[in-house]
Amino acid sequence: MEIASIGQALPRYLIQAEHERPETMRDLATLLYQISLASKAIARELGRAALTGTLGMTGEVNVQGELVKKLDVLANEIIVEALEDSGLVSTIVSEELDEPLYLEKAGERAKYVVCLDPVDGSSNIDVNGIVGTFFSIRDRKGQGPDQLAADVLQPGTAQVAAGYVMYGPSTVFVYTARDGLHAFTLDPTLGEFLLSQEGIRIPARGKTYSVNEGNFHRWHPYTRRLVEHLRTIDKATDRPYSLRYTGSMVADLHRTLLEGGLFLYPADVDDPKKPTGKLRLLYEAAPAALVVEQAGGRASTGTEQILEIQPTSPHQRVPLIIGSPEDVALAEDFYQERR
């Protein structure tokens, strides 16, 4: 058994990336480091929440009509403060903020817009389940609060970097700055993220699908037929697939990246509040799509590429089918009536 190298700590890795690609990475490296620092503080709060009285609800409902947990608020405060402190961010879109936050005091250096899901999979918090953080970084386009829409409503293709943090048995920081996908595992004794996987590649096809199947009867017939296909026995095509679903997209995405397969949160034809599914474009689907595409995977609504969708509002939802390229292509065959 080899002792893990401590040479590839995240700060050093980012400095090296800055050295190799100064144009792109100069400030982006600092910003990614700042997000990683916030994530260490969030991991700390999650780890002791049962002891500090921070489990449970705040009693508030967010702009999307969902109950807010104490840790949603705490994590949002931690990460917003870290972003403000960097001096590099002009605008923040967060699941936990009704409106985009324009940082009045941000100066010339504040050239980024960051979209966030501070705690993804909140329903897992009170049962010590896996949760995550999504982040998505775009260049600022406008120069003032009146330019907010231009800054915030940029498609996923405009992301300069994106990633997620998974708070599981270990805390993992996964990011891409369009140079492949890299994972760093937190060594709690050092308090540092250390490189654990460089240039992650998703398998071309997997053996699992991941979806809230309790919604089966609310789905569009295309989705139902796809899922029925995946669970049909057929030796020649290695079916049925297994079902894995944690209720935290970060955790399901991480497994899908490493082992292949499909994750989906489809549209809900029965619920007028969810005609486009549940997941938010700017801070869930778009960062997930860039991450997966950087690993050789795909992300689609069934008919459109997630990264190409032009957002029309900050908390807009979108149906999502994401994962191994062959599995996403199979799903698209159902949605585009080729099967």
Question: Which residues are at the interface with ligand AHG (CB under 6 A)?
Answer: 66, 95, 117, 120-123, 212, 247-249, 265, 278
- 3-class DSSP assignment, residue 140: coil
Distance CA 279, CA 320 (A): 7
User: Of 199, 288, 294, 295, which Cα lies nearest the Cα of 252?
Assistant: 288
Q: What are phi and psi of 128, to 5 degrees?
A: 55, 35
- With respect to Mn ion, which residue has the nearer C-beta, 140 or 315? 315
Distance CA 32, CA 27 (A): 9
Q: Which two tokens stand for residue 328?
A: 């996403």
- With respect to Mn ion, which residue has the nearer C-beta, 46 or 119? 119
**Residue 279: count of CB within 10 angstroms of its CB:** 23
- With respect to ligand AHG, which residue has the nearer C-beta, 13 or 265? 265
Among Mn ion, ligand AHG, none, partner that 87 touches (CB below 5 to 8 angstroms by kind): none
Question: Does residue number 252 form part of the binding site for Mn ion (CB under 5 A)?
Answer: no
Among Mn ion, ligand AHG, none, partner that 319 touches (CB below 5 to 8 angstroms by kind): none
Q: How far is the CB of 118 from ligand AHG (least distance, A)?
A: 8
Among Mn ion, ligand AHG, none, partner that 287 touches (CB below 5 to 8 angstroms by kind): none
- With respect to Mn ion, which residue has the nearer C-beta, 72 or 293? 72
Beta partners for 137? 114, 161
- With respect to ligand AHG, which residue has the nearer C-beta, 122 or 300? 122
- 3-class DSSP assignment, residue 9: strand
- With respect to ligand AHG, which residue has the nearer C-beta, 47 or 247? 247
Count of residues near Mn ion by CB under 5 A: 4
Q: Which two tokens stand for residue 61?
A: 């409902």
Site string for Mn ion, 92-111 (x = CB under 5 A): ---x----------------
Cβ(66)–Cβ(72) below 8 Å: no
Q: What are phi and psi of 87, to 5 degrees?
A: 70, 5
Q: In one letter, which amino acid is 318?
A: V
Cβ(128)–Cβ(122) below 8 Å: no
Rg of the Cα trace of the chain?
Answer: 19
Among ligand AHG, Mn ion, none, partner that 316 touches (CB below 5 to 8 angstroms by kind): none
- With respect to ligand AHG, which residue has the nearer C-beta, 255 or 278? 278
Among ligand AHG, Mn ion, none, partner that 247 touches (CB below 5 to 8 angstroms by kind): ligand AHG
Helix (H) or strand (E) segment spanning residue 209: strand 208-210
Among ligand AHG, Mn ion, none, partner that 161 touches (CB below 5 to 8 angstroms by kind): none
- With respect to ligand AHG, which residue has the nearer C-beta, 13 or 241? 241
Q: How far is the CB of 315 from Mn ion (least distance, A)?
A: 11
Among Mn ion, ligand AHG, none, partner that 30 touches (CB below 5 to 8 angstroms by kind): none
Distance CA 178, CA 191 (A): 26
Q: What are phi and psi of 132, to 5 degrees?
A: -150, 180
Q: How far is the CB of 100 from Mn ion (least distance, A)?
A: 16
Site string for Mn ion, 109-128 (x = CB under 5 A): --------x-xx--------
Q: Which residue is nearest to Mn ion (CB)?
A: 120
Among ligand AHG, Mn ion, none, partner that 151 touches (CB below 5 to 8 angstroms by kind): none
Examine residue 272 and say whether the peptide bond preceding it is cis (omega within 30 degrees of 0): no
Q: How far is the CB of 292 from ligand AHG (least distance, A)?
A: 14
Q: In one letter, which amino acid is 337?
A: E
If you write DSSP's letter for every residue of 223-252 in order, what string do you get?
HHHHHHHHTS-BGGGTBSPEE---S-HHHH
Q: How far is the CB of 299 from ligand AHG (least distance, A)?
A: 14
Residues that bind Mn ion (CB under 5 A): 95, 117, 119-120
